Amino acid sequence: MIQKLIAGLALFTITSCGQKQTGSDKQNDDIIVLNIDPSETFQTIDNFGASDAWSCQFVGNWPDDKRNAIADWLFSLDTLRDGSPKGIGLSAWRFNFGGGSAQQGEASGIKDEWRRAESFLDANNTYNWNRQQGQVWFLQAAKERGVKDFIGFYNSPPVQYTRNGKAYATDKVCNLTSDRFGDFAAYVATTIKGIKQKTGIDIHYISPVNEPQWDWSDGGQEGSPYYNTDISGVVRSVNQVLEDQRLSTQIILPESAEYDFLYEDKDRPGKGTQAKAFFDPGSPDYVGNLSHVGKIIAAHSYFTSSPFEKAASIRRQVYNTVSGVDGLKFWQSEYCILGDNDGEIKGEGKDLGITPALYVAKLMYNDLVNARATAWQWWLAVSPYDYKDGLVYIDRNKADGKYYSSKIMWAMGNYSRFVRPGMKRVALTTTAPGTYASAYMNEADKQLVIVVVNENGIDQVIRCSIPGSAAQTVNMYLTTASQDLARTSGSSDNLTIPAKGVATIVIDL
């Protein structure tokens, strides 16, 4: 197991899956030791991503220099002259196949024009592949910059198929009747093929439902509730069409609104205990044996992120639940800062600074270490809102405007830019409260990546201890109140992690 640190009086301990923190097991009062054991491995990383909802439909049509600059921030793997990354190198991109509320305009019932979404399906049931042009531009920009995983998601079926003719539900039941499951499935397959024909891009995964626990009746955005039996019915129909048309796309489900819906009903009977519902062969809603259902269960990190210890406990339960199904992986597939989070941080109020970035980086640590997520995906890649929901922020202007990066984006980049698909998380032991460190191994290149979140108000000096590896000069990338993945270097046995900062350390073994 993980090597013991030098003995001492343990003042503070957090134990999790492959991670232990103790408050006084230090070589001295100044240095925090990171003990890393690359031979002890955990999950393999699939991707880090974000979605194009909803602003990319407009920003993708902005002047070329501006939309390219935003795309560089999100996707680029290039470096600047000083060696710092040009962007955060997202490895997945979520494409919103809209329900058609944008074509309906004000009649859609969705008051905010920026939250309406176009559909490729027109009112006369023909397809117009010139729609969603701004989103298609970002899809292509992502591919050009090296993104490999593309995920199509459907917050609502097309309005032509819904009960009420709208892209949001008004009667608190699934807005798609069972006799239209086949129509929706055919639409899913057609949109996958249409994107491929138009752009050459394969949609590798599709997510047919989103946050099925909520009733989506307020007209705030496109959405529909689904009972588990609705979801399994939709998935069976989609699976059959994908199989018939020999498409390779995999289905991800169920995009649970909260983690705990994966293992309990809470107050949503028929919409919870979803890991068992869909992946237990004894369940009437079992779909885990279908040819196009990926061995992935997805949920959103909302409303379970504070306080830390409670959040860690929920995530360990997620891991215990998911690991009970052979080969099943867990994706954290949507997050931004919502609610008041037990008073720790509020979702309201745009904040481009380091405080929300530290909160997100710490949550990513919790999801990766305790829930053992193999993917971690943000909600709005581009936001016009006065809210903590964006990586990039823009003026609320459909044709042109200013754009701004956030520290949340750069802190996410401490993971996404360096922890690449196929890397494995490895064992790491840290030695101080308020310091959250995780390590990842690129076995092919014999390269170790360590991400350290220092939420303390003082600098932390660390030493990386790796069996069989001597101290060496390493590269480190810092996100702080004044730095955006700034490259620096130093000795692996004496590195300073700035106060209120996130660091990525890259070590060649």
pLDDT of residue 4: 32
CB contact burial 394-406 (16+ within 10 A = b; e otherwise): beeebeeeebebb
The per-residue DSSP string of 424-451 comes to EEEEEEE-STTEEEEEEEETTTTEEEEE
Length of the chain: 509
The per-residue DSSP string of 47-99 comes to EEEEE-TTTHHHHTTS-HHHHHHHHHHHH---B-TTS-BSS---SEEEEE---
Mean pLDDT calculated for residue range 448-466: 96
Mean pLDDT calculated for residue range 237-246: 98
| 26 pLDDT higher than 70 | no
Residue-wise pLDDT for 83-118, tens only, equals 999 999 999 999 999 999 999 999 999 999 999 999
Residue-wise pLDDT for 192-227, tens only, equals 999 999 999 999 999 999 999 999 999 999 999 999
Q: Would you say 83 and 487 are in contact if contact means Cβ atoms under 8 Å apart?
A: yes
Host H or E run for residue 313: helix 308-322
Task: Please state the φ and ψ torsions of residue 378, each to the nearest 5 degrees.
Answer: -85, 165
How confident is residue 434, by pLDDT bands cut at 50, 70 and 90? confident
Residue-wise pLDDT for 465-483, tens only, equals 999 999 999 999 999 999 9
Q: Where are the alpha helices (DSSP H) in 323-455?
A: 354-369, 407-416
At position 261, the amino acid (one-letter code) is F
Neighbours of 154 (CB within 10 A): 25
Q: How far is residue 384 from each of residues 87, 222, 317, 338, measured CA to CA in Å?
A: 20, 18, 35, 16
Q: Where are the alpha helices (DSSP H) in 161-286?
A: 181-199, 228-244, 274-279
The rounded distance, in Å, linking the Cα atoms of 309 and 398 is 42
The rounded distance, in Å, linking the Cα atoms of 196 and 271 is 33
Q: Which residue has the higher pLDDT, 79 or 13?
A: 79
Structure tokens at 217: 């009746």
Mean pLDDT calculated for residue range 13-35: 53
| 177 pLDDT higher than 70 | yes
How confident is residue 432, by pLDDT bands cut at 50, 70 and 90? confident
pLDDT of residue 29: 55
CA atoms within 13 A on the CB side of 265: 8
Q: Would you say 87 and 427 are in contact if contact means Cβ atoms under 8 Å apart?
A: no
The fraction of the chain above a pLDDT of 70, given in percent, is 94
- SS3 call for 186: helix
Q: What mean pLDDT, rounded, does the chain reach?
A: 94
Q: Would you say 406 and 352 are in contact if contact means Cβ atoms under 8 Å apart?
A: yes
pLDDT of residue 433: 83
Mean pLDDT calculated for residue range 47-59: 98
What domains, with CATH codes, occur in the chain?
13-44+426-508 (2.60.40.1180), 47-257+273-299+377-421 (3.20.20.80)
Mean pLDDT calculated for residue range 250-268: 97
Neighbours of 343 (CB within 10 A): 8
Residue-wise pLDDT for 378-409, tens only, equals 999 999 999 999 999 999 999 999 999 999 99
The rounded distance, in Å, linking the Cα atoms of 452 and 361 is 9
| 6 pLDDT higher than 50 | no
| 9 pLDDT higher than 70 | no
Does the pTM of the predicted model rise above 0.85?
yes
pLDDT of residue 412: 99
- Residue 327, Cβ density class (10 Å: 0-12 exposed, 13-18 middle, ≥19 buried): exposed
